[in-house]
Structures are given as structure tokens and as C-alpha cells.
Structure 1
């Protein structure tokens, strides 16, 4: 028989507000252990007495069977004086000691879904069914402490049956703050946005969710109040309806997200591998980008020019009940006009969505915080977040070894795909995706969200980190706030933050040697005041040194070049060859005629002058130029990254071949450069030979990937290597064709490769990189050698 002992077990991680205490209570009772469990400022504390083998089993089962929304970062157990306790109990948190921790909003769990489908259950067809394993969290929080009174569930007093579940540790709704049922919880109802009554010819006996399904099938556009904001929905198989939604929403070409009731329907339209299926079914329930290669096809208007479509499964019981009656996918796109924040309340619904949707399914549970859908893609066999929002934020991320314990840091991110990050103790809290701060309403929402996060986490920053760009709104806000509060200000170079975000996301210790960071993105403010975007940096958290770059090429018109790819094409071609050579060798191309018709003389003058044509080492603008050469979005992009996404979709990976790039050196300082001149001649030669555009696109991707690998090998040097690890970051590495070719090439060359997963590679991850750099540099460490 195992000896008796008493132990204190400390569990750290995401263990509050996720049903962890009742899980401990059930396991301990099953194992015949006595003791208690409580929340405190460090996580969960368990005191337990009983057979040594049973205590070891308890610890093993906690590691193996945590609640679905929990994340265990560590379990520590120490012997204590014998406990004189009978039975096992859940203890209320010590007054003022419990840490405020808000779990992410989570997709409806299987148990709650089953209740809504069971005619004998009291929550049959109830759209707001939830428990500690699922349902709203961040989206309903108004303040601290996190209990029902500080959420938008406060107006709904619990009925006796719900109160009994809430109070019972054996029930999965123990302390579920959003608990509700038809007797005491929120309700939904259907309205027409033109204030007319819903049609009388809907089938009799339908509840609100079934009526929405009927409207979608007949071709109506319906606004649906979801967990973190309104969506606009329509039948995705009806091309004219999808096109009408595009026109009304003013969304020319950006792909629409889709929702389907089950994976079987998704497989009719898209390829779903094991990793994609796991992501779709996860509690986060993100939109997952899938290859559109199923036996059936959706209208081109769903994702114009792309080979990927974004699917998600029903995120709430309300969505499940609607989709039950839909044997086809529906568009489920954000409820807004293009570039505006997603609508979250009924005032916004009537002001902004009337004229887009005819009907709306609304409910009386208020949305306190806008939370967009997360977006993920499997690249290189790994699910990677492209947008971190619902299901992920505001979950804390552990800081790498050596970065914890510093002064509280507030990092304010970039301008596009804006997020912010609060770092203190041993963790960093990265906000949900907030949008582009160029939009005034989005900037207001960003500031409001920042205030809420600081309140929820009682965060008073002593260090504020911002992007070095002089005109980013986030950076201006941070500089002003640092001046006002006396907090230390740390200005972080954009691409250094990208590398640090990758390192932090992979848990690389502060003491680890520098890596080669290859950062490929649209643009960032460089040390020399120029635009950077294709960088090779020797970097760690403390500092960086620029070792190489893509060849800088003019951006005629500055920001206009990001919107009109032909400008980048013209600049690239005239940097690679004289116009007379282009006319002589390739004058028979339609491409030549298109560029010859442009106002070349003024553009040549602008490029020579330089004031309105900044030189940029931007990988994104190189992609734009190649796409324009293939007549993809040549005149104008409808959304950021459209040309590059269409170019990737065109690359079919067929016949072998790669365009050549030179490794050259810049005049003056000798900075190594990737020179695209030979690529352009080879590409134009293929166009002259009428080579398939898909092959041209594929050869460009392969050629650029090989050039990046060759540059890394050259920079490593001979003898004692300068680095043995390469970190890949920046939005261009969300391109699977490029990423997988670079990763494979680097691995073949003997490098260890680090890349993004939980933290986005795009500017949505910048804030955590800024926070890591601020923590490292304010601790007094010196710069990277």
C-alpha cells in the first residue's frame, strides 16, 4: 500500500476561468484524496493529502486531461505538514489575491451542441447555450473582477436551475459567468432593416434561426449578430447574391470567409488535411485557408483570382442552429463597409448595414469588445495564425527564458494589422487584431481596447515601446504617453521587431546567440531613413546589424506605388535595363505597349529626383511588380497583398526551373544585395515565348527562394560560422510557395530554421517583438555584436 503524504501543488498557466478547479475537484474525489483547491495571484494552488501513488496520478492526469481552454505552463509539487481535512473542496479565492485572467471566446463545445439538439434538454434549440468549456469571454467583459456582474450578462438574473449549476463543482457550468437558458438568458429575434415585417410566406412554426436559414436559401442577405460582432451572410453557392453583397459592401475583390455546418460539406469544395481539420475543430475555431480543389466549385465572386478559400465551422449555438438547415456553405463576412471596423451594436447595424442586408438576426446580449475571427493557414505542415483574434486573444503567451521579471512594458505595434502587447512578470498578453489605424474609427477602437486591457490586467507600464517610423499613429500615441507619464520610451526598428517576434514566439532564450533574420514584407522605416522590406539582419533581442538586403528600387509616387502595381513594374524594369533595351528586346509584348502608354517622362523625372519616389528594398513591391508583368492587378490592387496572393495562386509548382538572381554589392558601402536584373530578362524572355503564366509565377518564386538561401549561405561565411539559425518573418512568408522553398533550402544547407505559428508573421506580431526587445534592452544589456 502506498504511503500517505500531504503536498502543495502549484499549477501555472491559463488555469483561471476555464473550469480548472472543478476538474481538480473531480479527479481528487475519484482518487480518494482529501484537500482543497483555490485560485490565487500565481495561478491555481492545490493542497492534497492521501496515498502517494494517488497524488502522483492526480498530477499525471492534470497534465494529460486539462480542461479544453486551459494551458499548463508548469506544475510544481512540494511536501507540506500533514493536512487534517476530510473530503475535497473548492475554496473561494483569497480576497484581492486572485489574478484577473480572461480566457478567449471559444467555439461551442460538443456537450453544449448536443444539448441544443436534444428535445428533452431544457436548452433545446437555445442559441446562447454555453459552459466553462465554451462561449463568450473577452467579448462580454466590461471590467474587473471577472464575474457576471462585470460582463454584459449582468442584466440576466439566473433562474434557480442555472444558479444550481453555477454553484455545483460537479457541473461543467460551475462558475461559468455567461451561463444562460431560455428561462433567464438572452433571446434573439429577426427584423427587417427597412422596418417592414418579416415575410408572411416563411414556413410555419420556424424559430428565428430556422427562419434565417430559409431566408438565406431564397437568396437574401442577412446581418447576424455573432459573438464578437455582426456578420453579413448569404448563400455562397448563389453567384449573383455573392456579387450583390460585394457591391453593397464596397468590397471589390477581397475574399469572403465561409461557414459550413460540418467538415463533410467543406470537403465538397476544398481540400482538408489532418492539420486543417484539427484547426477547424479546435476550441478557437478559426477561419482556415484551404485549397479550393473539391469536387464542387463555388462562384468566382467568393475569392476572385485565388486558389484558397477560408472556411470555419459554426462558432456558436446560434450559428449551428442556422446551419443545421443549410446543406451548402454560407458567406460569413464581417459586418462593415470595406475598411471600417466590424459593427457590434444595433445603432451601428441600422446606420451602417441598412442597404447591405435586408434582414438582421439580433439579440439582447451586448458585445462589450469587438473581436474579429481569427485566420489560420497550414504552411509547411504547421498551422500558423495569420490573424490572431477570436479564440486566441487575450490568452497570455509565456515570455522566453531571461525576459521575464522585468519592468512592465506596453508595446504599441505597427500601423496596419494593429495589435498591442502588455508584458509583465513571466508573460506577454497580445491583443486581438484591431485593424488598420489609418481609419479613424479603428484608431478610436484601438485606444478603447488598450484602456480595457490595462484595466483588466492592472497594468501600469514603466516602459513604452513603439515603431521607429515617425508617422505611425501608434508610435505618436506612445511617444506622447511616455512624455506624459515619465515612462521610458524605446523606439524599435520595424524589421528587428519582426525577428524578435519570431524568436519570442518560439521561446528562444535571451542568452541564445544571434540568428540571421530574413524579413520579407511590404515596408518598414529603415535606419537610413529609407524604406526597408527585404532584410537580412544578424539579430537577437538586444540588437541587430544589417548584413544584406534586396536591391532598393524606387517607388514612384510613394504610397501610390503600394496601390498601383504597374508603378513598381516600371521602376523595376527601368532599374534593370534602359528603356531602349526594353523596347528593342521586348517591344513585341503587350506589356511594352501598356507601359509605353503611361506618362513615362514625368515618372523618369520623379525617379531621378527621389523626393516622391523613395527607394525601397521591399519584397512586397517586388511581388507586385512581377504580378503586374503577368497582368495581375496591374492598374490597381483592391486590398493589401492582392497582387502577391494572386501571383502565389498562379504558381502551380509544375515543371522545374527557377529564374536567376545575382548576389551583388552596393556601391559605396559594399552592402550585399540580391539583384533581380537577370530575373527580369529571363521572365520577359518567357513572356516572349508565350510560356504559361503559371510557370512564370512558379519560376519567380523558386528563383527568389534560391537567392535568399544563397545569400544566407554566403553571409554565414567559412570556418567559424557567424550564425547557425535562421528566423523567417514578415508578411511575404505567409506565402506558402515561397516559405516552403526557403525553409527546405535552408534546412538542406544545414541551418536550423525558426518561423511563426501562434504569433503572426505579419505586422500583427510586431507588438510582442517590440515588447521582447524593450525587456532585453532596458535590463541594461548591450547591443548585438
Structure 2
């Protein structure tokens, strides 16, 4: 509740009811002591939930009688100073950053208001929170606003229970608060002049670095091809789509197709990037902003500075993380100057420090439901409740890509903000720093570390080096589906559908298209996708064309018809002669060709067969192109086949589906029809695998997880198919479905295992021997 104006709300409510007492923050919770007539006390409890301020979430309401001998409140109701350590060791909760509220936006645009065009306007209901808090309890002196002494007028507002800035810790005004500064070459400006200089730079087609809520961002004119090209060169991001910042919902609707769900997320206090279909418009972002996909990431301003930038620019702006590809988002001014000077033509900064980095959150909408892709600013580090309480504090170390970590105490899980790819040393440093800092702030000191099975993950190596009373290795795909089940409070057995790129299986092979019969403590494999070699290992991940050859030349023999050899031979010529021969030799000899049952790699192969994507510069690029090509067409499925394999599992044989793609290309069938038919074939095959598992006793509750479920069409078709078969279908909405949710799943599995062991229950755990 902290940081959303709850204490002032309680003060006003209790005063209106004639109650005596006090309210205070204790370890991130609101504690109220009140005396009065029974009916007024009852009304107080009821209205805590009914009338709570917009951003507040009342998770639990505990009522107890006064402690014997404790003095009762005297006349009146007051707000007392915050306390720490008086809540019985409970997790200290950090409030999340929220976008400017309507009242602050009115002040920002009102020439008669003293905060007119002030880029740091906020109140008790909005503004920076987690990114500026240096310690708890949350009071001004424990934020990066501490150096800014309140002027007399701001101090009066802060002390007035009737004012909406009553105990608004980051409050300030142009007289006493942070100030903008602009630097470009030898030119420097401050205040309004700095903002004007930044706008001139944007309208000239230049790239600027802006100090945002949770870190630096890079902005340019989204309607100017040369500006977008310059940003791509500097950021070393040749293909991955950029997000676009617009001033308001009306501006968003002019360049994108918005559903009510998408609009609701855009204007929510978290202000995430929302992926939506782009509109073709002459005044909108150029195609180079989102190449290879018809979807575009739209965001509304997350802070008053961005509101002014979007308004004054009067056009859509690219707004992307302030980093070079693979590195963490920059939060330090000196580091920004060092790291971004090769990208940005100018810097729009300010003197309010960022304590915790937070990239922008990303959500999409599938089958009418929001699905989280990246959980960061606006969402993290708000806690999530687990359905099973852990006897010991746990740290979920996460995966390798789209990395997050989770701290768990009891049933309170704090999912840290998105970190990125741990292959970069600076990102690894950022991960370690974030773990240390969030552990200190929340008071969660983990004794148990849960980690992935993959020995090559940097997070696994870090977990094995970390001092811990115990380590629990959790299989990657079990973590995916456990994250979904735990988010929905599901503790019974379920059927897990895990579709992603690659994860280390408990048999030492690579998995990625899995049907699991599971609960939170363990699982068994009930179905899978057919395997294929990855020619060159990591090289095949970067080359969908190689991956296609892996399937066409070396797919698992499952008794079905193989693709036409003549068509395969013709396809092989798309690789240079020497490379084609080398790939064929690798596959035939099984050299440097790990096999994988991967849904993600199958999508890569299909994209290559259709000529959509031969090489990739970012994860998921080929699958995005395939989804975009399919659009909303419904030509029916391509051939698909599910068989019982020698290992006793039901297996989807992708050979007939890929063969049909080759034949369709030879017959000049439109690529869009083939891409749509491919999606439907995969969805039908997944539903058939689940049906076989349920027919053999698997629970009729399906939990979906893995990066492939970022594909809105796949979510819709698989969800519809499973529901038509009578299953209940669950998918993550608040916890990322991709590897960003792995740490949450790891923590949920560890909690369930530890709780079961404490009760003396036998479990079939997904832990490696000796873990």
C-alpha cells in the first residue's frame, strides 16, 4: 500500500467517521489504531477496500484487539512517523513507480499553477517510488529526494492532512526540487531552456538520451527514417522493434489498433509498453521502427518529463532503453556520458538520482487477456503471493535470457525487475547488485537458492557459488508451468504445456516443446515435440536457415512421410556451397549437433522455409515474422501428426508440416496462407498431445508457459482448442510467460518442496541428483 497516499486516505476517512487514533507505516505496511463506536469502526474496515485510492491494493486486512496495557488513543486522529522492525519480521514492501495522476497532469498544463510545466510534479497518489527509495520505511529522508529541502509552500502542503500532497515523499516544485539540464557538445542549458533544446534536437532528426524514471532512455523522431537508422547503428540493434512514445490515448489510436484491454493497460498507472497491431498512416512511425512485424509497441508517458517531451514534439517518438545491445540500462549520469555518447547527440538529464534501475514493462494482449512479457517499472518489485508458504527464505536465481530473480519469504514473493541477458558481464554485475539491494530493502535474506538445471547458465554458476544452506535445481520447463500455476494459486496437479526455445531437460538433452503432468513439487513428461539437430549448436539458434536444414535432413524418424527429397535439395542451395556441405556433414555424422524437442526452433525453421528470416539478430525474430505473416487468416491446418514414440511418449511429428510448407512454396501458395496453416497445425498438435495425456489420467487443467506463448495467435488457437475439449486453461498475466517468469517458478517449486518435506510428505521432485 505504501506510496499511494493510503495514510492520508486513512486520516481523512477516520476523521470523517469521528474516530480517534493514529496511522503509521510499519515495514511497508499500514498499521491503524482506532477507537470509536462499533458501527463507525465497522464502516472504517469496509471502506478501507471500497474507497481506497486508485493505485492501492489491499492485499490483507488483519484486525485485532488492543494489547492489554497499551495506552488507548487520545482525542483526534494523527499520522505518526514510520517504524521499522515492528511487524514481526514481515517482508518490507516497496511501492512501485506510477505515472502522473489526472490532478498532476492538470497542474502540469495550467499556466496559472506554480507547477506549470514542472517536469517532476507528483503527489501522494503518483510519481517515482521504488526507483528513488534508498531505505525503508518510506519517508523522504530515505529517498534520493533527501537533498532537496522543501520550500515553505511545499512544506505546508506536505504537513496538511487535507492536501493531496500530505506525506507525498517525492513532492517538490520549481523552487525547491530537481532541475533539468541539457548538454550537447559545449552547449549547456537548464530548466525550461533545457527542455526546449531537447525538443529542437528531436525535430532536427537527432537522437537524445533522456534520464527517465528508472534509467536513461534513447529518443528520436519515429517518423524520420534517418533518425531511426542512426539510433539503430549507435545502439547496435539492427532489427529488433522499438517502442513508440505518444502523448495520449488519442494519439495512440491514430497509429495503432486498440482494444479496450490494450487501452486499459496503456492508461494504467504502470504505463507499460503495449504490443498492438499498427495502423498504416502517412504521419505515423516509419516501417523501420518495427521491421518484420505488424505489431508495434506503444507507450504513454510514465512521468511528467516524458509528457512534456511527447506534447512539445507533436509527433510519435521512438523511446528505447538507454544502453547498447546486451548491456543493462544506464542509471548513472557519468556512466551515461561514457556509454551513450556514441549514440546520443545530446543529453537531457536532471539532479534526482535513480537508486534502483527499472526498464520499461511490456505487455501484449492475446485472446482478450493481457500477458506480461517484461515485468519492470510500474509492476516490480510489488510482491506476489504464492499458494504455498516456504519454511525458509528462498532466492530463485532465474535463467539466462530475459533474466529476473525472485526473493521469497513465507508466501510473499518479490519478483525483481527485468535484468536482461546475463551473457554480458555488466548485466551480471547489475544482477548481483540488484539482489543485494533488494534483499536489504525487503529484509529477505535467502537461505535456500533455487536455480536452473543448465550448467552453462551464468545464473546457475552464480547460484552454485553463492553461500547457501541448500540449493535446489529446478527443471526449466517445470519452472515455466509452475510459475503459471502459482500465479493463479493452483496447488493441485495440472497438465503443463511448455513451449519455448531451449531448456535443459532432466535427461541431459535440450527440451522446448513439452507436455508435463505436474504439481508444484514435481512432474513427469507425458508428451513432446519431435527432435531435430541444431547444426553448429548456438550457430543454429542464430540461423533459422540452418535450423530448417536440421529438421529437413535430420529430424527424428517417427514413421511418417519425409519431405520431398528434391524440394529439400533445392532448399539446401540457399546456403553457400561450402556451408551447405559442412551443415550436411555435421548432421549426418552427429558432430556438434545437439538435438532438441523445441517449439521455438521449429518456428524458426518454418520462418526460414517460407523465406521470412534466414538469420536473426535477436531472440524470437523469426517467430515474430512468422506470426506477422499469418495475420488473421484461417485457411485450416497444414498436415500434422501425433504418434507414440519408442520412449513411450506421445510426440508431435513436425516432418509432414514442414514438408507441406516446402510443397506450398513450390506451388506458389501465398506465404500468409502457409504461415497461418502452420500455426493452426502446431496448435492442433499441441491440443492432441494434451488430449492423449488427459485420456491417460492427466488433470483437465492446463497451465501454459514459455516464450512461444508471447505469440497471440498461438495462445488463442491452443486456448480455444483446449477449452473446447473441456479443459480449464491458465496462462500467466502478471508473471512473464517467457524466461522472465522462470525465477518465480523456481521459487514456487522450492517453497512447495520445502513445505512438503517439513510435513514429511513424499514428493516426486524435479531436482537433479545430489542437488
Using structure 1 for the length normalisation, give the TM-score. Answer: 0.92
Distance 1:94 1:149, change over 3 A: closer
- Structure-to-structure mapping, 1:234-245, within 5 angstroms: 234-245=220-231
Residues 16 and 44, structure 1, Cα contact 8 Å, conserved in 2: yes
Matched, 1:92 2:81: yes
- Alpha-carbon separation, structure 1, partners of 2:565 and 2:483: 47
For residue 594 of structure 1, the aligned residue among 574, 584, 587 is: 574
Q: Give the match's secondary structure for 2:392.
A: coil
- Alpha-carbon separation, structure 2, partners of 1:167 and 1:414: 46
Residues 229 and 343, structure 1, Cα contact 8 Å, conserved in 2: yes
Q: Give the match's secondary structure for 1:599.
A: helix
- Structure-to-structure mapping, 1:164-313, within 5 angstroms: 164-192=156-184, 194-196=185-187, 207-293=193-279, 295-296=281-282, 297-313=284-300
- Alpha-carbon separation, structure 1, partners of 2:454 and 2:220: 41
Residue matched to 1:677: 655
Q: Give the match's secondary structure for 2:407.
A: strand
Distance 1:476 1:293, change over 3 A: same
Offset at residue 682 of structure 1 (A): 1.6
Q: State which drifts further: 41-50 or 79-88.
A: 79-88
Residues 4 and 53, structure 2, Cα contact 8 Å, conserved in 1: yes
Q: Give the match's secondary structure for 1:443.
A: helix
Residue matched to 2:451: 466
Matched, 1:322 2:323: no
Residue matched to 1:355: 342
Offset at residue 632 of structure 1 (A): 1.8
Matched, 1:606 2:580: no
Q: Give the match's secondary structure for 1:38.
A: strand
For residue 597 of structure 2, the aligned residue among 604, 612, 617 is: 617
Distance 1:588 1:394, change over 3 A: closer
Distance 1:767 1:206, change over 3 A: closer
Q: State which drifts further: 539-548 or 655-664.
A: 655-664
- Alpha-carbon separation, structure 2, partners of 1:264 and 1:744: 32
Residue matched to 1:637: 616
- Alpha-carbon separation, structure 2, partners of 1:344 and 1:62: 37
Residues 131 and 213, structure 2, Cα contact 8 Å, conserved in 1: yes
- Alpha-carbon separation, structure 2, partners of 1:724 and 1:376: 28
Residues 17 and 101, structure 1, Cα contact 8 Å, conserved in 2: no
- Alpha-carbon separation, structure 1, partners of 2:578 and 2:640: 28
- Alpha-carbon separation, structure 2, partners of 1:515 and 1:581: 35
Matched, 1:692 2:679: no
Residues 36 and 88, structure 1, Cα contact 8 Å, conserved in 2: yes
Residue matched to 2:43: 57
Residues 553 and 587, structure 2, Cα contact 8 Å, conserved in 1: no
Offset at residue 168 of structure 1 (A): 2.6
Residues 393 and 430, structure 1, Cα contact 8 Å, conserved in 2: yes
Unaligned runs of 5+ in 1: 1-14, 200-204
Residues 38 and 90, structure 1, Cα contact 8 Å, conserved in 2: yes
- Alpha-carbon separation, structure 2, partners of 1:588 and 1:53: 83
- Alpha-carbon separation, structure 1, partners of 2:143 and 2:82: 19
Residue matched to 2:537: 558
Residue matched to 2:370: 383
Distance 1:84 1:455, change over 3 A: closer
Offset at residue 106 of structure 1 (A): 1.2
Offset at residue 588 of structure 1 (A): 9.1
Offset at residue 544 of structure 1 (A): 0.5
- Structure-to-structure mapping, 1:469-548, within 5 angstroms: 469-481=454-466, 484-485=467-468, 487-509=469-491, 512=492, 514-548=493-527
Distance 1:144 1:339, change over 3 A: same
Residue matched to 1:734: 710
Q: State which drifts further: 160-169 or 300-309.
A: 160-169
Offset at residue 545 of structure 1 (A): 0.4
- Alpha-carbon separation, structure 2, partners of 1:583 and 1:644: 24
- Alpha-carbon separation, structure 1, partners of 2:442 and 2:435: 11
- Alpha-carbon separation, structure 2, partners of 1:500 and 1:45: 33
RMSD: 2.3
Residue matched to 1:369: 356
Matched, 1:424 2:417: no
For residue 116 of structure 1, the aligned residue among 105, 108, 116 is: 108
Offset at residue 371 of structure 1 (A): 0.9
Q: Give the match's secondary structure for 1:290.
A: strand
Distance 1:670 1:596, change over 3 A: farther
For residue 433 of structure 2, the aligned residue among 422, 444, 448 is: 448
Unaligned runs of 5+ in 2: 766-771
- Alpha-carbon separation, structure 2, partners of 1:355 and 1:83: 63
Q: State which drifts further: 775-784 or 38-47.
A: 38-47
Offset at residue 624 of structure 1 (A): 0.4
Offset at residue 180 of structure 1 (A): 1.4
Deviations 1:519-554 (A, max 9, x none): 000111111110011111111111110111101110
- Alpha-carbon separation, structure 2, partners of 1:95 and 1:243: 51
Residue matched to 1:8: none
- Alpha-carbon separation, structure 1, partners of 2:419 and 2:412: 21
- Alpha-carbon separation, structure 2, partners of 1:295 and 1:267: 11
Distance 1:32 1:616, change over 3 A: same
Q: Give the match's secondary structure for 1:442.
A: helix
Offset at residue 144 of structure 1 (A): 4.0
- Alpha-carbon separation, structure 2, partners of 1:354 and 1:675: 51
Residues 411 and 465, structure 1, Cα contact 8 Å, conserved in 2: yes
Offset at residue 56 of structure 1 (A): 3.4
Deviations 1:173-232 (A, max 9, x none): 22222121111111002110x334689xxxxx9632233223322322211111111111
Distance 1:93 1:138, change over 3 A: closer
Distance 1:146 1:34, change over 3 A: closer
Q: Give the match's secondary structure for 1:503.
A: helix
Distance 1:302 1:121, change over 3 A: same
Q: State which drifts further: 30-39 or 621-630.
A: 30-39
Q: Give the match's secondary structure for 1:569.
A: helix
Residue matched to 1:152: 144
Q: Give the match's secondary structure for 2:210.
A: strand
Residues 280 and 287, structure 1, Cα contact 8 Å, conserved in 2: yes
- Alpha-carbon separation, structure 2, partners of 1:414 and 1:101: 24
Residues 570 and 595, structure 1, Cα contact 8 Å, conserved in 2: no
Q: Give the match's secondary structure for 1:189.
A: strand
Runs of 4+ in 1 over 6 A off after TM superposition: 79-82
Residues 268 and 294, structure 1, Cα contact 8 Å, conserved in 2: no
- Alpha-carbon separation, structure 2, partners of 1:206 and 1:128: 12
Residues 34 and 85, structure 1, Cα contact 8 Å, conserved in 2: yes
Distance 1:387 1:218, change over 3 A: same
Residue matched to 2:743: 767
Residue matched to 1:6: none
Offset at residue 582 of structure 1 (A): 5.8
Matched, 1:648 2:627: yes
Q: State which drifts further: 580-589 or 623-632.
A: 580-589
Aligned positions, number: 751
Offset at residue 36 of structure 1 (A): 2.6
Residue matched to 2:768: none
Offset at residue 627 of structure 1 (A): 0.3
Q: State which drifts further: 143-152 or 77-86.
A: 77-86
Residues 531 and 555, structure 2, Cα contact 8 Å, conserved in 1: no
Residues 464 and 478, structure 1, Cα contact 8 Å, conserved in 2: yes
Q: Give the match's secondary structure for 1:68.
A: coil
